[in-house]
Structure 1
């Protein structure tokens, strides 16, 4: 607020015949009161403006002025995969990827469940897809997207052994060595720490495949998916396909004499298609454009981004890394590690009709090599959040249908479990009801927001959750807004 026009500063007071010292003190006190009144009125205006127009205000004290515009104050250049014509092998892989004749039913291809129009996820919101010889068998788990797997490392436990000359160490030995070592907490914005404590890498929800080639073969022989009874059956279909000539040309005429080799080379071609085609890793979201300074986030999206990265509140980025790498690679929004979250049981799944059945991720039942490593029971791969807002089901069992339900789970699992889990006949809340009680200790209770206790105030408000969802929607590919 401006001072009165007749006010003078202390250094401007005249001398000699001017006011007495007592009068000067009174004048100074009046000016101080005017200044304090101005500060109070300014604060009232700011608070009132924030109440009327909250979307126009910074999310927190100390936010940069640039945030008010929605622009990225520090844009960078992202290092995307090079775009080049597909190799002949990848073109062959694309043809097989879209070929339903490779299934027992003759009606299901890889693309049936991994639709290019749906971010290479399922084209519907079913918890599990139907397959099998007659397309009537329910799958075991929700179909994950196979986009953004080009940087996925093989399944491992512990530090990378690739740069050592020592003989490879078995997973059982590595898992045993990791027992008893305290797991590092996951803080948003920090790269994975102490990876020896948890498994990482791999494909499928339980990491049982380590390469795109292995992953491509899995559905081919899964009895509730493409349902071929054996690798030999897949080889027979390849021999009678319209592209058998291309297979022989690329891999030699003798490839047809060895069913295992023929199928292996075919799956290699499908893997090359997934690796080479830019459609599998577009990095064309609004967030990517914002990182490069070509888009502006709304105030809700900016608030959501800050909450997403806040290690004491949502802490989403503790597992879903949101920052580009030091050399400019775009963030994949996953640390590719495994977590036991304790999601509630989805009683709609066929296998869950049996109360004794439990899907325990890494330690079984669909993966058998880690069955004895019970410290990993209940752990599933952390998926990318890219394009997650386009999905119709979430988590390894498809128990949730909306992002709001997912966020409520993270927010209320510990503080108000009665809102997340069912009650038994006696009225007791059945916490962690999709994992045997002896493995409940594997479930994460250390990382925010799971560090809250029963009865505590939840980490996020409803507005916080809405803002985070607004941000997650900026991770959908296909943004065409430019710098608007």
Structure 2
């Protein structure tokens, strides 16, 4: 049995890159690959807030995590050489500085081409199976391959991408060491997916608030007399003080606290879809968004061809949602205030509108509280990621890519 190690996702050491400065060198890569700890299979734990969802972790049986694979995925994620004209990387659209999404209404690809949907975030993907707004990719690995060959996004071919990477010795070394079959497009996808799986949202103020509240409910009698608690159970007393200090360091405004209670209430009904540790049911719903267009985007229907899926799109997480504007699958709503108002009005009526969407009786204060909850209460830290420390340019890579694209008839 292979050795394993338990790690906490969000630990910046997992995404810090190979130690050093500037472009990666052969010597640094050799030393990294020679270290046995970088090939130990990692058993991830999730931070407070997400931890309740550990049973929902996806994809690790088929693609175990190792430090070497995560690091290789980090390099690929930020490398524009995956695209046909060396201008677009995964991070171009799923930008760490923009909540692993982007602030344009639609995704922008090679040559400034505009896609037809808003860029979904790339964090907390370890808790998600099917990917894309319409769920057309069954796994994160399948999703990672899609943009490379999409004519609007990276406008490459899988063959040309692999040919390019094979012209870069540092990549060849890593793939040969990490994967039995070396550098293939499937292994490119496995590496990128491994990196993305360790990008998770850290504990948010609501998580600390709830942890303290749960403790105070469970030990209501004890916390009424803290002097007695300190005397009779010093460990429990110390734990209570730890929770209070953590909540104090991550304060939640009164408005956000009210918004949190409202979010989980029948009055707002948000948890009809936004539930669980990652605040999503991972299902598809028609909210009426864009359904008044002459030719509306039919979303999940394009995958399943089931009438019930017309206009249905996957429920996104609302963790760190303040960082991922604009909103909805078409980026049509610029602010969270607009999103709340959309739900309050009951969406846009259409034949396939989800039964979960109903007009809400919300006051202006209710709406403001819901927005405060999402902005303040659900925003946690994202792990620090080294976006530099990549492999240097290689002329052989460019020549191999150009030849493969020419053979494929791609300009």
Distance 1:77 1:374 in 2: 34
Offset from partner CA, 1:271-298 (integer Å, 9 cap, x none): 11122x3xx1133211122233332532
Contact 2:327–2:335 (CA under 8 A) maintained in structure 1: yes
- Superposed, which structure 2 residues align to 1:68-217 within 5 Å? 78=51, 87-122=67-102, 125-132=103-110, 135-153=111-129, 202-217=130-145
Contact 2:296–2:311 (CA under 8 A) maintained in structure 1: no
Offset from partner CA, 1:385-444 (integer Å, 9 cap, x none): 011112221101111101111111111136xxxxxxxxxxxxxxxx55xxxxxxx33212
Unaligned runs of 5+ in 1: 1-74, 154-201, 257-261, 323-330, 347-351, 415-430, 433-439, 453-457, 480-484
Cα gap change, 1:78 to 1:269, in 2 (>3 Å): closer
Offset from partner CA, 1:1-43 (integer Å, 9 cap, x none): xxxxxxxxxxxxxxxxxxxxxxxxxxxxxxxxxxxxxxxxxxx
Distance 1:396 1:265 in 2: 29
SS across alignment from 1:243: helix
Distance 1:110 1:248 in 2: 23
- Superposed, which structure 2 residues align to 1:1-40 within 5 Å? none
Contact 1:76–1:292 (CA under 8 A) maintained in structure 2: no
Distance 2:120 2:152 in 1: 16
1:88 Cα deviation (Å)?
0.8
Distance 2:172 2:182 in 1: 10
Contact 1:338–1:382 (CA under 8 A) maintained in structure 2: yes
> Which residue in the other structure is 1:299 paired with?
254
> Which residue in the other structure is 1:470 paired with?
372
Q: CA RMSD in A?
A: 2.5
Contact 2:298–2:311 (CA under 8 A) maintained in structure 1: yes
Contact 2:141–2:193 (CA under 8 A) maintained in structure 1: yes
> Which residue in the other structure is 2:284 paired with?
338
> Which residue in the other structure is 1:226 paired with?
154
* 2:164 is aligned with 1:237: yes
SS across alignment from 1:150: helix
* 2:272 is aligned with 1:362: no
**For structure 1, which segment, 239-248 or 389-398, has the greater mean C-alpha deviation from structure 2 after superposition?**
239-248
Distance 1:466 1:138 in 2: 33
Distance 2:50 2:365 in 1: 32
Contact 2:73–2:191 (CA under 8 A) maintained in structure 1: yes
1:78 Cα deviation (Å)?
4.7
> Which residue in the other structure is 1:405 paired with?
338
Offset from partner CA, 1:438-457 (integer Å, 9 cap, x none): xx33212x33xx334xxxxx
Distance 1:80 1:409 in 2: 29
> Which residue in the other structure is 2:201 paired with?
282
Distance 1:76 1:478 in 2: 12
Question: Between Structure 1 and Structure 2, which shows a larger proportion of helix residues?
Answer: 2
Match of 1:263 among 185, 189, 199: 185
SS across alignment from 1:290: helix
Distance 1:76 1:341 in 2: 27
SS across alignment from 1:292: helix
> Which residue in the other structure is 2:353 paired with?
443
> Which residue in the other structure is 2:272 paired with?
318
Count, aligned residues: 288
Contact 1:345–1:399 (CA under 8 A) maintained in structure 2: no
Cα gap change, 1:359 to 1:78, in 2 (>3 Å): closer
Contact 2:121–2:324 (CA under 8 A) maintained in structure 1: no
Distance 2:260 2:113 in 1: 41
TM-score (norm 2): 0.65
Cα gap change, 1:306 to 1:336, in 2 (>3 Å): same
Contact 2:201–2:320 (CA under 8 A) maintained in structure 1: no
